[in-house]
């Protein structure tokens, strides 16, 4: 279910790193908790983010949820398809439902994130 090469946060974001670029989204667990996503607020391209700074907001019919940046860096792309098709976040959270791409500032930020094994254990634990 959760891609092997991705890294994860306790706030249910995922990260996929290719070179010095990181793609960020929310996990399948997160989209299931939210329910039908109807609105995504995206940041501006060029914005610099620190670790745990708010990237944007995902809203379902019932809930409003902040999305936090797992890494520091500069926003180099946003998924504009989400403006017109926010439901993509429900249908393909780990693929077409990506939210932003960052140019990594600090590769060592990655060391703080969970591997897929850690994340699956985290989901099973009482804290999830």
Return residues touching another protein (CB under 8 A).
Answer: 35-36, 38-39, 41, 57, 59-62, 64, 83
Min separation Cβ 41 and another protein, Å: 8
Q: How far is the CB of 90 from another protein (least distance, A)?
A: 8
CA torsion sign for 34, 38, 43, 45 is: positive
Least separation, in Å, of the C-beta of 122 and another protein? 20
Residue 4 vs 62, nearer CB to another protein: 62
Whose Cβ is closer to another protein: residue 45's or residue 57's?
57
Rank residues 58 and 114 by Cβ distance to another protein and give the closer one: 58
Q: For another protein, which is the closer residue by CB, 47 or 105?
A: 47
CB 113, min distance to another protein, A: 27
Alpha carbon distance 64, 83 (integer Å): 16
Computed on alpha carbons and rounded to an integer, the radius of gyration of the chain in Å comes to 13
Among candidates 127, 110, 117, which has minimal Cα distance to 11? Answer: 127
Strands 73-78 and 54-60: unpaired
Report in angstroms the alpha-carbon separations of 91 from 88, 95, 96, 97, 98. Answer: 5, 9, 8, 8, 11
């Amino acid at each position: 279910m959760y891609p092997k090469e991705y890294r994860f946060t306790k706030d249910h974001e995922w990260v996929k790193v290719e070179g010095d670029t990181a793609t960020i989204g929310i996990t399948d667990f997160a989209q299931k908790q939210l329910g039908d996503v109807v609105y995504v607020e995206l940041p501006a391209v060029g914005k610099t983010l620190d670790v745990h700074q708010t990237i944007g907001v995902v809203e379902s019919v019932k809930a409003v949820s902040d999305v936090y940046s797992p890494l520091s860096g500069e926003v180099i792309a946003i998924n504009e398809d989400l403006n017109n098709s926010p439901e993509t976040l429900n249908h393909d959270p780990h693929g077409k439902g990506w939210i932003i791409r960052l140019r990594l500032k600090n590769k060592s930020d990655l060391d703080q994130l969970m591997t897929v094994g850690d994340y699956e254990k985290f989901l099973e634990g009482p804290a999830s």
